[in-house]
């Protein structure tokens, strides 16, 4: 077997028990120049968070490439408007780089607002805007005044940090909307669902669980999102934050200003979905029937999917998986979900995990699992081969790695169209994994780096 060498500066972001015994992960740092990180830029981080707000205008202030890179970036469904799916751009060129892009931004905003009549507009700053120094906030203030809708700058210059900084920039823009809507009809047992993006309709499934429990969902941020729902999110009594990275910033801000507590949740896998629902039920001890309604829901949903999951497990027992996704919280859930269907994780990693996340990941994984932070294609290829994985779970950038190496792939990122969350989603996930891992095509390929 040919060994792919690692970059020396990257060694502390890789834990391979075979190579070193102590667990010490360097993380939460900028990507190494020249490493060809799998990570997306700050702008992309903001774009993925705000994209599902379907009745808002999303204008990318930058060269056309930035807009093309994030065009229709999520499989996030809307039950109404589809404005979010358009990728508007100011298409900056040499002229604006020399003389400034503010007049072009002003003109684009006025034209688009007149044409599409959005409820609000988000204006994303890209790398070049940070370099030439356009005063995006001033243009937004002027247009908001003239047009009478919120026009929100998203300070997401691509080079200024990691994808996580993009999440924060998006949360800052959202936070300026929260608190501006009417909350008089909101019940005491009410929540906001944060960090849920309605990929393939997942937010609809999760919202339905809560409604069956008797919990009012004030807003989902940002899946199937509406500007008016965001504006009244401060009326909920609890924030339930999915995923470790994307929207914890907003939950923290809402806790500080409005005193709304938050809990973390994951809806991937039976175990974590049930835990999320029970945790929310436990938050409302004064509701006499909520615990019982939650137990009934979980019992019915689990009973509906278990027979097929057991059958699938019979075929997958002992197979090996590599998991590399954006947020570490999702990795935790995937490790448990894969165990349920008989598989073990031999590689685990994320783009945005912090030290606590990696410590937890280490505790969940088998002792010989390789753990990586902010990996690149060569590292992933090396460990997938060394660990003899049968399956790679990742996103659009990991798919070609898996197929070139000759192993099954499951898309668990925001581009997918299949709902994988909740009880029903667990069954979809298991079926997808089963289909790809047991495909006869892999037997016809020679696996080489
Ligand atoms: S913001 Fe910068 S890094 Fe991000 S897509 Fe645009 S040019 Fe590339």
The secondary structure of the chain, three-state, reads: CCCCCCCHHHHHHEECCCCCCCCCCCCCCCCCCCCCCCCCCHHHHHHHHHCCECCEEEEEECCHHHHHHCCCCCCECCCCCCHHHCCEECCCCHHHHHHCCHHHHHHHHHHHHHHHCCCEEEEEECHHHHHHCCCHHHHHHHHHHHHCCCEEEECCCCCCCCHHHHHHHHHHHHHCCCCCCCCCCCCCCEEEEEEECCECCHHHHHHHHHHHHCCEEEEEEECCECHHHHHCHHHCCEEEEECCCCCHHHHHHHHHHHCCCEEEECCCCHHHHHHHHHHHHHCCCCCCCHHHHHHHHHHHHHHHHHHHHHHHHHHHCCCEEEEEECCHHHHHHHHHHHHHCCCEEEEEEECCCCHHHHHHHHHHCCCCCEEEECCCHHHHHHHHHHCCCCEEEECCCCHHHHHHHCCEEEECCCCCCCCCCHHHHHHHHHHHHHHHHCCHHHHHCCCCC
Domain finish residue from 175, 198, 224: 175
Ligand 1: which of 39, 44, 60 to mutate, judged by most atoms within 8 Å of the beta carbon? 44
Q: Is residue 223 part of a domain?
A: yes
Closest ligand 1 atom, residue 42 Cα:
4
Residue 285: pLDDT above 80?
yes
Q: Is residue 411 part of a domain?
A: yes
The rounded Å distance from CA 86 to ligand 1 centre is 18
Q: Is residue 226 part of a domain?
A: yes
Domain of 147 in residue numbering reads as: 42-175
Are 293 and 311 in the same domain? no
Nearest residue to 119 via CA among 230, 228, 233, 229: 228
Are 165 and 239 in the same domain? no
Are 285 and 331 in the same domain? no
Q: What is the count of structural domains for the chain?
A: 3
Q: Is there an atom of ligand 1 within 6 Å of 127 CB? A: yes
Are 104 and 130 in the same domain? yes
The rounded Å distance from CA 189 to ligand 1 centre is 42
In tens, the pLDDT along 358-385 reads 988 999 998 889 999 988 999 999 999 9
Are 253 and 347 in the same domain? no
The rounded Å distance from CA 41 to ligand 1 centre is 6
Q: Is there an atom of ligand 1 within 6 Å of 124 CB? A: no
Look at phi and psi of residue 342 and say left if phi exceeds 0, alpha if psi is from -120 to 50, else beta. left
Q: Is there an atom of ligand 1 within 6 Å of 154 CB? A: no
Confidence of residue 184 (pLDDT cuts 50, 70, 90): very high
CA distance 340 to 309: 8
The rounded Å distance from CA 415 to ligand 1 centre is 19
Residue 22: pLDDT above 80?
no
For the whole model, what pTM was predicted? Answer: 0.90
Are 19 and 63 in the same domain? no
Task: Report how far Cα 306 is from the mean position of its chain's Cα atoms.
Answer: 27
CA distance 206 to 196: 9
Token pair for residue 66? 């930035």
* Whole-number pLDDT of residue 245: 67
Q: Is residue 210 part of a domain?
A: yes
Please state, as a whole number, how many other Cβ atoms lie within 10 Å of the Cβ of residue 49: 30
Domain finish residue from 301, 324, 353: 301
In tens, the pLDDT along 56-89 reads 999 999 999 999 988 887 889 999 999 999 889 9
Strand partners, 322: 347, 392
Domain finish residue from 175, 202, 217: 175
Nearest residue to 51 via CA among 199, 206, 163: 199
Residue 11: pLDDT above 90?
no
- Measured by CA distance, the residue closest to atom 3 of ligand 1 is 158
Closest ligand 1 atom, residue 158 Cα:
1
Residue 43: pLDDT above 90?
yes
Are 171 and 55 in the same domain? yes
In tens, the pLDDT along 309-328 reads 999 999 999 999 999 998 88
Token pair for residue 12? 């502390």
Q: Is there an atom of ligand 1 within 6 Å of 73 CB? A: no
Are 77 and 160 in the same domain? yes
Mean pLDDT of the chain: 92
- 17, with CB counted inside 10 A (0-12, 13-18, 19+), is middle
Token pair for residue 41? 């830029």
* Whole-number pLDDT of residue 40: 79
The rounded Å distance from CA 123 to ligand 1 centre is 14
Q: Is there an atom of ligand 1 within 6 Å of 41 CB? A: yes
Q: Is there an atom of ligand 1 within 6 Å of 69 CB? A: yes
Q: Is there an atom of ligand 1 within 6 Å of 126 CB? A: yes
Are 208 and 226 in the same domain? yes
Q: Is residue 402 part of a domain?
A: yes
Nearest residue to 380 via CA among 2, 6, 1: 6
* Whole-number pLDDT of residue 72: 81
Are 19 and 99 in the same domain? no
Q: Is residue 33 part of a domain?
A: no
Q: Is there an atom of ligand 1 within 6 Å of 197 CB? A: no
- Measured by CA distance, the residue closest to atom 5 of ligand 1 is 66
In tens, the pLDDT along 337-364 reads 999 999 999 999 998 888 888 988 999 9
Q: Is residue 58 part of a domain?
A: yes
Are 310 and 439 in the same domain? yes
Q: Is residue 338 part of a domain?
A: yes
Closest ligand 1 atom, residue 157 Cα:
1
Query: Looking at residue 439, which CATH number applies to its domain?
Result: 3.40.50.1980
Q: Contact at 8 Å (CB) between 429 and 420? A: yes
Q: 342 — phi, psi (to 5°)? A: 85, 5
Closest ligand 1 atom, residue 126 Cα:
1
Are 232 and 268 in the same domain? yes
């Amino acid at each position: 077997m040919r060994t792919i060498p690692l970059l020396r500066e990257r060694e502390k972001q890789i834990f391979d028990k075979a190579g070193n015994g102590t667990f010490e992960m360097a993380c939460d740092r900028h990507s190494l120049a020249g490493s060809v990180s799998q990570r997306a830029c700050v702008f992309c981080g903001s774009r993925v968070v705000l994209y599902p707000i379907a009745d808002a205008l999303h204008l990318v202030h930058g060269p056309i490439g930035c807009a093309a890179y994030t065009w229709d970036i999520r499989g996030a469904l809307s039950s109404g408007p589809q404005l979010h799916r358009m990728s508007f751009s100011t298409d900056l060129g040499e002229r604006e780089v020399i003389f400034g892009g503010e007049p072009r931004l002003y003109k684009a905003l006025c034209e688009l607002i007149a044409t599409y009549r959005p409820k609000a507009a988000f204006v994303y700053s890209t790398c070049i805007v940070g370099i030439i120094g356009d005063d995006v906030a001033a243009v937004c203030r002027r247009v908001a005044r003239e047009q009478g809708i919120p026009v929100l700058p998203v300070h997401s210059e691509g080079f200024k940090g990691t994808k996580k900084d993009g999440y924060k920039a998006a949360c800052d823009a959202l936070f300026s909307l929260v608190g501006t809507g009417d909350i008089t009809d909101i019940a005491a047992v009410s929540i906001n669902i944060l960090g849920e993006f309605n990929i393939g309709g997942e937010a609809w499934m999760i919202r339905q669980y809560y409604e069956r429990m008797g919990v009012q969902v004030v807003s989902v941020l940002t899946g199937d999102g509406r500007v008016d729902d965001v504006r009244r999110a401060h009326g909920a009594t609890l924030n339930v934050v999915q995923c470790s990275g994307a929207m914890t910033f907003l939950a923290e801000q809402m806790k500080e200003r409005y005193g709304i507590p938050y809990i973390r949740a994951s809806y991937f896998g039976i175990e974590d979905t049930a835990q999320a629902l029970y945790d929310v039920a436990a938050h409302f001890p004064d509701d006499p029937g909520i615990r019982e309604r939650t137990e009934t829901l979980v019992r019915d949903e689990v009973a509906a999917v278990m027979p097929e999951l057991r059958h699938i497990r019979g075929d997958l027992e002992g197979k090996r998986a590599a998991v590399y996704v954006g947020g570490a919280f999702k990795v935790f859930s995937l490790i448990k979900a894969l165990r349920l269907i008989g598989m073990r994780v031999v590689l685990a990693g994320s783009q945005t995990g912090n030290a606590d996340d990696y410590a937890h990941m280490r505790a969940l994984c088998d002792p010989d699992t390789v753990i990586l932070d902010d990996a690149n294609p060569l590292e992933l290829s090396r460990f997938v081969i060394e660990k003899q994985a049968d399956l790679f779970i990742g996103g659009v950038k990991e798919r070609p790695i898996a197929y070139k190496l000759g192993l099954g792939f499951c898309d668990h990122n925001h581009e997918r169209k299949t709902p994988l969350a909740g009880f029903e989603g667990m069954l979809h996930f298991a079926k997808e994994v089963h289909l790809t891992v047991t495909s006869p095509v892999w037997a016809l390929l020679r696996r080489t780096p």
